[in-house]
A = this chain, B = another copy of it.
């Protein structure tokens, strides 16, 4: 029996069953190491400083200086790591076996500049270029949605314009807010302007809330995005929608950006700009599981704001959604 420590470097002695058949990092199992025990890394995976040698990496971007309303998303990565202690090694719903498929680790956080959002964007872009240079797929824990812009700069640098599955309450395509081009309401406008997106392969799911103009999603449609307002999602499974999305995305590189506020505030209260009547976590799972087979080159889960997450369950939801994202990455092995 292991006596001490979180087995941060490897789960070998702490998850024998799995470690014996896997050549990858294996987090310690709660069957052998108490959930409460150990330094909090994402999914209890080992921490390493760089992405070298990894197929995929969890990475945090702890900012909220791009938020227009309630702050707190800077603590998203920390809280997601803490609540991720609930995660086990296999996906019971899809029978994916991520730790038999990929070398994954937690590579810590981008060292953001909390006093200057523009400089932070530069730091993010550079950090993600380094990660992507190793061939590793980033699974990002936000932070507010501003971060999607510099991440996509780095992603497009490597992969060219990408398809985008964007799950959100908001289109995030404003041009200028409070006189600024950079903020959590504008990233996808900037991405389009810089040619980072393959606009015919963009879908925005879950959009809703009051708007600044009669048709809040006009600009999105004008770019060729598919816009799925939340009203189209009410009362139904999104599996059929995702079949269409897979067709839309084809075999090209795809980025998945999931704003936790896409979910109804009942399920994800811990966020900065909640909008009522949103998606359910069931639909969130359907969307992510529906990305199976796509050529995913990066994913993020953004806008978890712990000060408004009074029970930790928003962060827990985020941890599960990030785990599900990992479970649809290319080369995943399924027991189905």
| Residues of A in contact with B (beta carbons under 8 Å apart) | 1-6, 8-9, 17, 29-41, 47, 49-50, 60, 62, 64-72, 74-75, 78, 81-82, 85-93, 95, 97, 106-119, 123, 126-127, 130, 174, 176-180, 182-183, 207-217, 229-231, 234-237, 264-267, 269-270, 273-277, 280-282, 284-285, 307-308, 310-313, 316-317, 320, 323, 335
Least CB distance from A189 to B in Å reads 13
For A307, give its contact among B72, B210, B230 (CB under 8 Å). Answer: B72
**Contacts A177-B30, A216-B90 given; does A39 touch B108 at CB 8 Å:** yes
A4–B109 Cα distance when bound, in Å, is 6
On chain B, the residues within 8 Å of A237 by CB distance are 234-235
Complex: how many Å from CA A50 to CA B9?
A: 12
Contact indicator A115/B177 (Cβ below 8 Å): yes
Q: Is there contact, CB below 8 Å, between B317 and A17?
A: no
Check if A34 sits within 8 Å of B231, measured CB to CB: no
The reply to whether B212 and A115 form a contact with Cβ atoms under 8 Å apart is: no
A277, A280, A312: most-surrounded residue (chain B CB, <10 A) = A277
Q: Is B285 within 8 A of A90, CB to CB?
A: no
